[in-house]
Structure 1
Amino acid sequence: MVVRIWHGYTTLENADAYEELVTSRIFKDIEAKTGEGFKGVELLKRKLSEDEVEFTTMMRFKDLETIRKLTGEDYETAYVPREARELLSRFDQKVTHLEVVHSQIP
């Protein structure tokens, strides 16, 4: 299994709208595009300052081939739909992929 980690940042004002967008639409679109190889996602959030919120996504996929269904051959480039870009103040252009070697998540 491969975990895909990415960071995006919003203003405090846009944080709720961004969270709603990714949890109600974008994650479902990703699952639809990648099928059975999609193994789950976690959205993490922290307030960095009075003006900025950081979001971290940790998506789990069966393998890199599954990720390529979403991104094409350039699987290290971030997948950030237009609607999300409009709410983000900045984001990682590249993602990190890590192989899961041990997990104790129930």
Structure 2
Amino acid sequence: MSRPERGMQFAKNIRVIDWLKTEILDQISNLFKGLHHANQNMIIDSLSSLLVTIYVLARRMGLPFRELDQAVTTKLREHEAEGHQLEKWYGDLSALDDYLTKR
């Protein structure tokens, strides 16, 4: 790939990353609207869109999906070990860890 082509690819990647960041904010806004209106479909749509956007953003930044998955698992186990309140109160972190490990 020639230098001008590389520069164009770099600029395009930066624009895509910026667009993905705005998508995250947009989906957070939609999530809050869904929560406000108690609209389960809107909540699920926003959360799933957030997950997809985060994975694509990670990829655009050079991080493999598997590495992101491993980091999430590590973070869950760290929080479990530290006695995070969500784990103490509801067991959410270990439940998610189990789910991710078994799929």
Normalising by the residue count of structure 1, what TM-score does the alignment of the two structures yield? Answer: 0.28
Q: Which of the pair is proportionally richer in helix?
A: 2
Normalized per residue, the structure richer in strand is: 1
TM-score of the superposition, structure 2-length normalised? 0.28
